[in-house]
Structure 1
Amino acid sequence: MENTIIYSSPYIEITKSGDGFYIQSFKKGLGVGEFNNILYSLPEIQVSNFVVIKEALVFAPQEPRRFGSVKEKIKVEVSGDKLKAYVTIFADKCELAGPEIIRKIVEKLNEKGIVYGIKKDALLNLVPNQPILMAEGLLPVPGMDSLNKLYQLREVKPEIKEDGNVDHYELSLINMVKEGDWLGERVAANEGKEGRNVFGDTLKAMPGKNYPLLYDKSSVREVSEGNKTVLYAKRSGAVFFQGESIGVSNHLEIKENVGVKTGNVNFDGYITVKGTVEDNFSIASTKDIEILSEYGVGNVKEIKSHEGNIYIKGGIVGKGKTVIRCKKNLYIKYVADADIYCDESVHVGFYCLNSNITAKEVILDSMKGQIMGGSINAEVRVVTAIVGSASEKRTIIKVKGFDRSSYKDRLDEISQNIEDIKAEINKYKQQMSIFSNTFDSRQNRKAEYDKLTSRYNELKTVLLDYEDSKKKMISYLKTKGEGEISILKRAFPNSMLEIKGIQKEIQKPVIRVSYYYNEGTIKEM
């Protein structure tokens, strides 16, 4: 078989015989880098034995030995995911001119079965001896998950308006809807878009997940409207959430006063009184109560919420007989001569006169806020602009205080519980989405599906309770020391302040100060 000399120098000679390449060395002195440059100029060589090359250079002289074979002119490589195909052309630039090389590339692609996503621009911009992205598949587009929207409860946050004439204390407590009102909707998940690899094979898209709409079936109805599922109120009432399940609770609206016409009111649900509660009458409910008269209430017997909040827009003039009790928060414009017992926070818009208040914390929301007379008993803190009065009326404010270390431990415990519950909720959510995406399966296994949704919602309710507790705990820990009385403007003499059993008598006016308990003493700043 005839040998053809491909390369020759004083150090080596490379010859071609049949489909093989041979190297013969004459003397030492040719480095590996220099040899690589020689190989780069000979793109038709596919090295198959590097040991032969090494021995030829290091142990020269050496007899001719085969070290390579004829490289394919056009090499096609496909990525592992079959989404990209690369072409390498082993030739010089002169060989890339003309349509013949393009024809050969197309033939090679067809030979490999590559039929999809061929890039025409790449065929017209060929470069030698390096991979060219010649075909690219199309990734599937995952389906969009369902888009769920629900009625949003208004934030319970007092709004103070001081216009110089009439001071307003506004709050939205109860979220009212009428029969037929929109409560939520789900835009259904879609299937996504299929993709293709370079061989033309279809790549299935991951369909979106349909997450369930949870609602109280006795008070909310579900209607299919095209690709939407819409929730509507079956009755008029107050919107509530139990976990993620929305419902409409019983709501009693009294358009005038609670008095002789109505008698005392005791209701299972939410109560809105458009007027007032007349003297010597009482009102009680399991949920929130709002009394919207601009004039507030007077000498009522009792206003009580067993589980919720109370909002009295116009304030209280209690005449020494009125009692207010609530499980959560109380919001009032002002209070005079009343007894208040609240498990959480008492927010007073403007002043507190001759009243006895027991709560977790007492906050006077306005910079006009003033506590005059009476006794305030809080666990965590009291915040007000003014304590006492220029007439030096006896005013007592006591803060029981708390153990900061215990509160921090409790916060850590709550945070860990939140993470644990979230992990469990995600597992149930995934299982529910599988049911929702297989409608027939859901119908055939309805009891199992209902059990899943019930447990999911129970966990969401617990999660919301923990998150609410965490929010409160973080707020409490922002208190200075282990109990605080914050006076934003001034305190008058004859005011007695007590934190964790340590008393401080105000004997002369003080300006803008916070008293707090730290390391066994009351400190101020």
Structure 2
Amino acid sequence: MLRPELIEFSLDNQKAELKIVPNLHGPITEDDLLQLLALPDFSYLCPLHAVITQAVIQVNQLHPQDEGNIELFFEIAERRDAEISFEIASDKMQASMALTAAYGGKSLGLRDVLQNLKLQRISMGLSKAKIEALLVEFATLSPGEKCHSVIANGRAAVNGSPAKLERKVSLARERLLQPQHNSDGTVDMRNLGAIIMVKPGNLLIEKHPATQGVNGYNVYGETLIAKPGKDLKFTAGNGTEFAANNPNQLIATVAGQPVETPSGMQVDDVLQIKNVDVGYGHVDFKGSVLITGDVGEGMVVKSHGDITVMGFVDSATLEAKGDITVSKGVIGRQLKDLSLSTKLIAQGQISAQFVQYSQLKAKGNILVTKQLLHSHTQTQQQLIVSDASARRGDLVGGKAEANKGIKAVAIGATADTKTELFCAMELTELKQQLKQLDQSIKSMVVAGLNIEAQLRKLPPKEQWQADAMMVEQVKVMLEEKRRTVVFRTQEELEFEALKLEIEGYYKHYRIDALKHVFSNVELHVGTAFQRTQREHGPCQISNKNQEIRFDYSH
């Protein structure tokens, strides 16, 4: 080991100096020098390894030479103050702090941490407990050791929830899923209970307003603006009014049948008929129509509200701006031109227990509780062929098209009846809508920037506030700016909702078979197609990478 006298502090007491004569003390190794630095007086200094390596090389090179009699001088260690550093996440939502213990230099305390946080502009989401815990750990470190921890977290903005309309009364279509219980506890599937009627003053529907959301912040204290929830149009239809003490409640003003509308409800006058046949004639009524019996062959029933048929519809045409509900069966036949003799067309939903050889077209859901046979159904929403217990519901033959999925207990038949199913066919159109919304939002951003630029170019207010024409122009610009912001916010909410729908399109819009899918069923989910060659058990059928996928795990 080298003699301790070879190392001493510099005049400013900041560095360890090595004074060595190669011929006298060499050859040496790096370990020799590190042993000198391990002496009690120098053990807390930071070794300068590059200098140590260079010292060993020079000393050993000069050791056997005449020049080796000259004393060499090297600064092989130094004091270093404790260090503090920060790492900020790319989204500015998290800050970590690292503390490095001093090599004989100045240490760090809470005041130093606070000063450095101020210099780094880290001001929000700080955890005093985590900072103090890190300082406690820091105090136990050996020279040069490091400790680190997350000491600040931002708070993400919480977007507002969308407005919701909560209906407080039942509708005629819901009676199909609510058969009456007998006194002995059994269920009478033929008794669907009383017709749904309301009286003046009954609460029909309540709006839960959209919320504004809660703004967030990042660790720099910058505000993250929350997006408000999307509002819903809420209007009073015929026979209704808003409650005097609550504008979010809609009540009935007349007695009649409640009918759901896209933005609220209305109460219709009800035309009650026993049977619609040749003896009664066609029906075209501005309210809702209740037929306690049947609709006969060749008859046409049109309604501006709902159509409810307690009996059968046989080879007839029903058109409603509301829902169509048939308590028993919808029966038709195939004509010579291959068209179907019964047609049901609704702006709302279509519900029935049994349907055969009929054409059904609805903007809302189509619900068949027992059997849908050899028919052509089209809905912009979902086709459901199932009773309330999901034990019965056969979809056999014909063609079924449902934009937002098909659910049935059994699809096809053991006799290999050809059955065609189409769902989730609108992805291309939705993507086009998203693109158009994106372009519209960008154009409104540009329009808003142009208005702001015009406002910035205005002279000081005191120069024009007495000019009525100028004041009016400024008001117009400010109102246009406000309208642009409102429209842009609405379209941004629509954009986000549509984007989420597209991202989960094939996950949500699929075919669900609750018990069976038989052979010879043509499955179309988006662009994916497959004809079943065998029977499948309960499964979810979806589009996976443009191929039909059967998932039996559910």
TM-score range, shorter-chain basis? 0.5 to 0.7
Instruction: Specify the SS of the correspondent of 1:60.
Output: helix
Instruction: Specify the SS of the correspondent of 2:214.
Output: coil
Distance apart, 1:378 and its partner CA: 0.9
Residue 188 of structure 2 corresponds to 166
CA distance in 2: counterparts of 1:479 and 1:286, whole angstroms:
38
Residue 506 of structure 1 corresponds to none
Find out whether 1:129 has 2:143 as its counterpart: yes
Find out whether 1:325 has 2:320 as its counterpart: no
Amino acid at match of 1:254: V
Distance apart, 1:185 and its partner CA: 1.5
Find out whether 1:79 has 2:86 as its counterpart: yes
1:465–1:39 CA distance, 2 compared to 1 (3 A): closer
Instruction: Specify the SS of the correspondent of 2:226.
Output: coil
Instruction: Specify the SS of the correspondent of 2:52.
Output: helix
Is the contact made by 1:174 and 1:290 (CA closer than 8 Å) also made in structure 2?
A: no
Is the contact made by 2:259 and 2:306 (CA closer than 8 Å) also made in structure 1?
A: no
Is the contact made by 1:414 and 1:466 (CA closer than 8 Å) also made in structure 2?
A: no
Distance apart, 1:290 and its partner CA: 3.8
Residue 30 of structure 1 corresponds to 29
| Structure-to-structure mapping, 1:94-133, within 5 angstroms | 105=109, 117=128, 126-127=139-140, 128-130=142-144
Find out whether 1:341 has 2:359 as its counterpart: yes
1:349–1:55 CA distance, 2 compared to 1 (3 A): closer
1:250–1:259 CA distance, 2 compared to 1 (3 A): farther
1:288–1:110 CA distance, 2 compared to 1 (3 A): closer
Structure (1 or 2) with the greater strand fraction:
1
Is the contact made by 1:140 and 1:193 (CA closer than 8 Å) also made in structure 2?
A: yes
Q: 1:103-142 deviations in whole A, cap 9, x for unaligned?
A: x856766887879959556666622314566998644434
Is the contact made by 2:411 and 2:521 (CA closer than 8 Å) also made in structure 1?
A: no
Is the contact made by 2:160 and 2:227 (CA closer than 8 Å) also made in structure 1?
A: yes
Residue 214 of structure 1 corresponds to 232
| Structure-to-structure mapping, 1:165-184, within 5 angstroms | 166-167=188-189, 181-184=205-208
Residue 518 of structure 1 corresponds to none
Is the contact made by 1:379 and 1:399 (CA closer than 8 Å) also made in structure 2?
A: no
Deviates more, 1:77-86 or 1:317-326: 317-326
Residue 185 of structure 1 corresponds to 209
CA distance in 2: counterparts of 1:323 and 1:342, whole angstroms:
8
Deviates more, 1:355-364 or 1:322-331: 355-364
Instruction: Specify the SS of the correspondent of 2:511.
Output: helix
Is the contact made by 2:96 and 2:148 (CA closer than 8 Å) also made in structure 1?
A: no
Distance apart, 1:18 and its partner CA: 1.4
Residue 454 of structure 2 corresponds to none
Q: 1:9-57 deviations in whole A, cap 9, x for unaligned?
A: 179943323134333363345246x755764663443455x44321222
1:399–1:332 CA distance, 2 compared to 1 (3 A): same
Residue 64 of structure 1 corresponds to 72
TM-score of the aligned structures, taking structure 2 as reference length: 0.52
| Structure-to-structure mapping, 1:296-335, within 5 angstroms | 296-297=311-312, 302-305=316-319, 310-315=324-329, 323-326=342-345, 330-334=350-354
Residue 9 of structure 2 corresponds to 16
1:317–1:150 CA distance, 2 compared to 1 (3 A): same
Residue 252 of structure 1 corresponds to 268
Distance apart, 1:167 and its partner CA: 2.2
Is the contact made by 1:10 and 1:27 (CA closer than 8 Å) also made in structure 2?
A: no
Residue 475 of structure 1 corresponds to 511
CA distance in 2: counterparts of 1:370 and 1:113, whole angstroms:
68
Residue 244 of structure 1 corresponds to none
Is the contact made by 2:178 and 2:192 (CA closer than 8 Å) also made in structure 1?
A: yes
1:272–1:43 CA distance, 2 compared to 1 (3 A): farther
Residue 494 of structure 1 corresponds to none
The alignment-based identity, stated in percent, is 9
CA distance in 2: counterparts of 1:368 and 1:339, whole angstroms:
19
5+ residue gaps, structure 1: 1-7, 93-100, 196-201, 242-246, 389-395, 486-499, 501-511, 513-525
1:255–1:21 CA distance, 2 compared to 1 (3 A): same
Q: What number of residue pairs does the alignment pair up?
A: 421
Distance apart, 1:78 and its partner CA: 3.5
2:290 to 260, 273, 278: 273
Is the contact made by 1:142 and 1:207 (CA closer than 8 Å) also made in structure 2?
A: no
Residue 67 of structure 2 corresponds to none
CA distance in 2: counterparts of 1:135 and 1:356, whole angstroms:
67
Distance apart, 1:190 and its partner CA: 2.9
Is the contact made by 1:46 and 1:69 (CA closer than 8 Å) also made in structure 2?
A: yes
CA distance in 1: counterparts of 2:505 and 2:152, whole angstroms:
49
